[in-house]
Every structure is written in C-alpha cells, then in structure tokens.
Amino acid sequence: MKRIIIIAIALLSWTLAKADEGMWLLSKIKELNIEKMQQMGFKLTAEDIYNVNKPGIKDAIVGLGNEGRPFQHFCSGEIISPNGLLLTNHHCGFSAIQAHSSVEHDYLRDGFWAYEMKDELANPGTTASILDRMEDVTERVNACLNDGMSEGERYAAIDSISEIITKEATEGTHFSAQVQPMFEGNQFFLFVYTIYQDVRLVGAPPQSMGKFGGDTDNWMWPRHTADFSMFRIYTAPDGSPAPYSEENVPLKPKHYLPVSAKGVQDGDFAMIMGFPGTTERYITSFGLANTMDITNTIRYEVRTDKLAVMREGMEKDQKTRIQYASKYASCANYWKYSNEQNKALRNLNTMGNKQAIEREFAAWVNADPARKAVYGSVLADLQKGYADMKTLETANVYAQEALAGPEAHLFAYRTGRVIAKLCDETVSAEDKATLREALKEMGAAFYKDFNTDVDAKLFAVLFKIYNDKVGADLQPEIINFINKKYKGDFNKFAADLKAKSVFMNEASFDAFVAEPNMKKLEKDLAYQAGKSFYEIYMKINASMAPYNTVLARGNRLFVRGLMEMNPEKAWAPDANSTIRMTYGKVGSYKPRDAVFYDYYTTLKGVMEKEGPAGGEFEVPARLKELYAQKNFAPYGNDILSVNFITDNDITGGNSGSPVINAEGHLIGTAFDGNSEAMSGDIDFEENLQRCINLDTRYMLWIVDVYAGAKNLINEMTIIK
Ligand code: ARG
C-alpha cells in the first residue's frame, strides 16, 4: 500500500515536473488547460483570465506596436496601476529611450525618471493594444473555401471574408480587429483590440543596469539584468483611444496587476501572458535545413561584419554611440540568436526529431488510400519546393541583410519618389509646399540617427558581400556598375558616394529639396543604389512566389494531417503575434553534463560580474553604494533577488510579458530565453527550455530606492 502511494506520488510529481509546451489561445483555456493549471497550483479560474463579459487578467496585458502595423506586436507589457502605468522591458523601451536621448540628455547612459506625470515623454507612433475579445471563426472562413481552389483563389477568399468579419466587429466602435490564421491556415481566429496611441515614457534605469551584460550575456543564464522600463497609456478625456494630446488623461484600465514583493520559490506555479511573435514548431526537416543553412548562416555571417562597422563608429564619439545604439542592439540580438540557434539545433538533433515525425506521418498516410489521395505528395512537394527555391532564397536573405544593410539608398529611393513630384509641372504649388514640409520631416527623422562615415563603410563592406556571394543573374544594376566603373573596388565606390550623393548628409539633402532636379536625382549614386535594390528585390520575390505557394499548401496539409493523425492531443498553434498564455513553474536546470543552474540570481552576482566603465559589465557607482548599505527591505533581507527562471513557453515578442503567480499577482517580467534551448522556436525542449525573468522585487527596489520614484511606488498595489 505504502509503496503504491509512493509510486503514485512519484508519478504525480513526474508529470507535475514536466514543462508544458504551448502558447495557448485565451478562449480555449477553459477547455484545454485550466484543469492542469489548477493541479499545478493555480488558484483562479479560466474566467478570471479571460471572459468576454467581465474584466479579467487579459485586460492588463498589452501588446506594443507601431502606427501602420499595430498588430505586429514587437513586445508585450502589463498594466500595474489604476492610472495606466505600463511595465515592459528596457530593451522594449530602448528605441524610445534612444529617441529621447542626446549628448545633453543621455537617458540611455543615465536613465530617466518622471517624478511627475507632466514630465512623461510622448512617443508618437507607438501603439498599445489591449484585447477586448476573440472568437474562433474557422467555420465561417472555411465555408468560403474548398479543396479545389488554387492558393491564389484561397487567399483572395480568406481576405474577403476576413474583411467582412473584422468590419462587423469594429464598425461604429473604437475597436480594431484582425482575423489571424492558426495551424498553417487550418483554423482562423478573430481578435478585437482597443489600440491606444498615446504611450509616454515614465522611467528607465541606466543601460548599465537595464542592459547589464550586453551582448555577452544576451540569451544567457545566469543573468543579472534590470531589463525594465515604464510607460503610461493615455486616452482622450472620455477614455477612448486618441493620438497624443495635452488634454489626454491616464488610462483607467479595466484591470491592473497587483505587484507581489513576496518572491518566488523553486517549483512555484507561473503563468505568462503576452504576444509571442513567431514559432515554427510544425516545420519539416526540409524547412529546417533551409533555416539552418540559409537564414541563420547568412544572417550571422553578414551581421558579424555589419556590427563591426557600427561598433567602430560608435566607439569614436558619444553622438554616434547614441545614434546607432538602437540599430546596433536590434541587429545584434538576432545575430547572436542565429548562431546559438544553429548550435542548439545541432546539439539536440532537432533534424532527427523532425525526420522521425515525417516517417510516422508517411506511415500513417500510406496505411490508407483515402489519406494517400489527400496527403500522399505532401512531403515530396515540400522537399522539392525548398530545393527548387534554394538559390533564390539565398539571394533573398543576402539582399535583406547585405543590400538593405546600409541606409542612405533606401532613404534616397523613398524620398526620391516624393522629390520627383516636386519636379513635376502638373503638381500644384500648394501641393509642392506640403510635399516639401513632409520631406523636411522625413529628413530630420532620418539624419538624426545617421552618420555619413558609418553608412559609407557599410556600403563598402556589405555590397561587396552580396557581390561575392550571389550569382551574376541576381545582381542589382548598381553592383554591375561598381564592377564596371570602379573595377569592383567597393571602397572607391563608397568614397565617391560619400563625396557626391546628396543623400549622404542632411545639409545636402535639404539643399536638394530646396532646388530639386530630376536629372541630378537619377544620376545620384545613392538613389541609383536604392532603385536597383528595389528592382532586384522585387524580381527575387516574384520568382519565389510560385515556390512559396507550394510550401504554404504543403505545410497546411502537413499540419492538417498531423492533427488528424493525433486527434486526442491538445494542439497549440504556432506564435503569430496574437495574445497567448503559457503556464509552467519556477525551476532550476542542468544546461550540460555536470553543470547545475540555480533558479535565481542576486545583486551579489552583479558585483561579481563587474567590468570596466563603459563596457558591458559596468556597475554604476550608486548601485555599488546601495549594495554596500544592504538596505533591501521590504524587497529583500540580506540578499536582493535579481532574475529568476521558469519553464514557460515563450518567444520573441513575449519580451515584457508579466509572469503571474497562482494568485494572479505579478512576480516578474519575462525578458529572454536561454541559449541551450534556442532551438525552442522550432522544437520545444521540455527539460532545457527556460524563460528568463526580472524579479519584481529588483524592479521595485530600483524604482523605490535607486531612483526614489515614490510617485510610482505609491500608485501600485504592492503585496508584501
Ligand atoms: N534576447 C532578448 C530578446 O530577444 C533581448 C535582450 C536584450 N538585451 C541585450 N543585452 N541585448 O527578447
């Protein structure tokens, strides 16, 4: 008897110890997840998280986006006060902090705190989405589709029914909506959001804390980073979303998260909600080879050189360092990811896992003639599709990474088309004045973060890579020209570009806008480079389109077959920038043989990692002083916890997501994943994959003690 109980307990704790794969759809939690979550310790109900009819945790979850593409959430965040105070990562606020920084006010270096609401800084163009409701609309969409349709007909039918559905959901309201495909286009969900347009910067620690460890520590555990920044959402006086205006008032949210200062223990339940960007869990071995050999390899190769050029410029002076800080950070993030992902994919034999799934799928298909008729050619089609596309895809990635690596030519082409209108006699003087105004603004925004020498060097280095790596038939006109006129000397071309193009600095651009000239525009080297880049990029993509169609169809059928093969399984769709929930728990792990990683780090570790001033591991003097005083109460006793890890299933886009405990209180903010399991976007590694989080106690201590921003502490509900 006793033995049975012991075995039962062992079995129970074994199942409990397993992390759960899945970025779950909120409307399915009740059906698919809540029971397991409650077994693991969650004390609330599915309705407390998401309920169409009453406020819940989902009302505190924010997707950050940009005007023009508000559904492509680049990060997540959470509302932590009744006045719309928003917590997210430092790296999510980075470009806003950078945009407000100058040599006089270096908020990246020194941090920024608004001690009164009037000092909060507007960020026009930044959007914040909060989900109102979601709905499975698969049946309605599928009713418009049939298996005999071509892919083109299928897309057109999906677009037109989606338009009808979103219109119904938004007409006469302030809502915005989108229909998103799930499971490679086998299911469809409607998401209805309120999208706020006035999001102001409230606070950020210095980057020596918010980005402590820099690229060396990025994607790594153990970590010691205060990766947070704070914003506030504002609305029109009536509570509706509105662009920045002085009259706007702080958002009165339907729900905000109480902030726990109680800390976490190994094994504690943890739930994360946010907006994961992209995963490819259902990719085939053929797609995986494409990712490893083409996308990741080329991206890493080109960005290594691109980063070196930017770094050289940034080391010269503070102005250039501020100008390129955000561009550098976003380039470096997926530079490192590409390399670490390939390493993890190899170490974990992800290719072998994918091939095993395909063998199982093929056996299942071949066992039944009816299945064979539908799925019989799926794997072969995918294999052939990727093989046929290889040369084009290689050129495509080189074009994105190398040809679109420098910036002046892209700006030249973008503005060149407007400048052409200034030269057009049929355009009225009045319209021309408006266009000049627009060009002036575009110029000011572009040149604020532009350095002529850095960009010229990028042309020399990156255009040469494209020249060397891509075949003659896919070269843009400008590269043929460089080979002919400059005998392939890319440095010489770059020097000429710098000396002659009006787009290489703001003064010559402004002068040209004042006196535009079509002939001069067409002869301008940056404009020519931009135009020929677009031409070749369009050509490559048009040539790829038929293969992409084959792949889309093959992937859709493959996933449909997998689901049919395994109907009992709770299937989770890949991430696609829509709101999701993942549950799991706090926990240590073993990254490799004989190595154990504890589940949390402390401020002591920051001191141990300290490196030279100006470097990635600089520790601000004030932090050292406060550390020596050890007054951590009420956020710690003699130690202060800094970061902790959980086994939740997250990916890029989830950055800034709340980590929520069994009571529904905020215990952390997710900010990274661990390199050992960077294959996780393709194959979830349940024993290895960890989500790296900022402990709310470190955040509170920094706001309260380090920054002395009592105004912010006072508006939160802190659970002690
Ligand atoms: N790897 C993190 C992500 O993709 C970004 C971390 C930013 N920090 C840094 N040191 N670069 O969300």
Q: Tens of pLDDT along 483-514?
A: 999 999 999 999 999 999 999 999 999 999 99
Instruction: For residue 692, list its beta bridge partners.
Output: 645, 672
Q: Which two tokens stand for residue 679?
A: 């294959």
Q: Which atom of ligand 1 is nearest to the CA of 337?
A: 1
pLDDT for res 20: 81
Residue 486 per-residue DSSP state = S
For the domain spanning 2-125+197-279+577-714, the CATH number is: 2.40.10.120
Both tokens of 643, joined, read: 């970061």
**What's the 651 CA to ligand 1 centre distance in angstroms?**
11
pLDDT in tens, 627-657: 999 989 899 999 999 999 999 999 999 999 9
Residue 671 Cα, ligand 1 centroid: separation in angstroms?
Answer: 7
User: 75 C-alpha vs ligand 1 centroid, how far in Å?
Assistant: 11
Closest atom of ligand 1 to 212 CA is 10
Cα 569 to ligand 1 centroid, rounded to whole Å: 33
218 in contact with ligand 1, CB cutoff 6 A: yes
Which residues are 129's β-sheet partners? 63, 195
Cβ atoms of residues 88 and 64 within 8 Å: yes
Question: 333: CA distance to ligand 1 center in Å?
Answer: 6
Could you read off the pLDDT of 286-310 as tens digits, one per residue?
999 999 999 999 999 999 999 999 9
What per-residue string of b and e applies to 520-551 under the rule 16 or more CB within 10 Å gives b?
ebeebbbbbbbbbbbebbebbeeebeebebbb
91, 207, 217, 654, best to mutate for ligand 1 pocket (most atoms within 8 Å of CB): 91
Digit-coded pLDDT (tens) for 201-260: 999 999 999 999 999 999 999 999 999 999 999 999 999 999 999 999 999 999 999 999
Question: Does residue 616's CB lie within 6 angstroms of at least one atom of ligand 1?
Answer: no
Helix (H, G, I), strand (E, B) or coil at 563: helix
Q: Which one-letter amino acid corresponds to residue 614?
A: G
How confident is residue 686, by pLDDT bands cut at 50, 70 and 90? confident
Percentage of residues in the chain having pLDDT higher than 70: 97
Distance in Å, CA 336 to ligand 1 centroid: 10
What is the number of alpha carbons within 13 Å of residue 31 lying toward its C-beta? 10
Is 262 within 8 Å of 644 (Cβ atoms)?
A: no
Residue 132 has pLDDT above 70, yes or no: yes
Report which of 595, 596, 606 is spatially closest to residue 639, judged by C-alpha positions: 606
- Pick from 333, 338, 618 the residue to mutate for probing ligand 1's pocket: most ligand atoms within 8 Å of its CB: 333
336 CA closest ligand 1 atom index: 1
- Tally Cβ neighbours within 10 Å of residue 412: 25
pLDDT single digits (tens) 659-669: 999 999 999 99
| Substitution candidate for ligand 1 out of 218, 220, 229, 694 with most atoms within 8 A of CB | 218
Catalytic residues: 91, 227, 655
Would the CB of 91 count as within 6 Å of ligand 1? yes
Cα-based distances in Å from 137 to 144, 162, 165, 577? 12, 9, 9, 18
- CA separation (Å) from 515 to 415, 422, 507, 510, 525? 14, 9, 12, 9, 18
Is residue 655 within 6 Å of ligand 1 at its C-beta?
Answer: yes
Is any atom of ligand 1 closer than 6 Å to the C-beta of 329?
yes
Cβ(462)–Cβ(404) under 8 Å?
A: no
Average pLDDT over residues 600-619: 98
Angle at 483 between CA 482 and CA 485, to 5 degrees: 60
Average per-residue pLDDT in the chain?
96
Closest CA to 98 of 333, 327, 348: 327
- Alpha helices by DSSP H, listed for 119-230, are 138-142, 151-170, 207-210, 214-217
Q: Which of 381, 385, 379 is nearest to 357 (CA)?
A: 379
Which residue matches tokens 């380090």?
706
Q: Domain spans of the chain?
A: 2-125+197-279+577-714, 137-191, 285-556
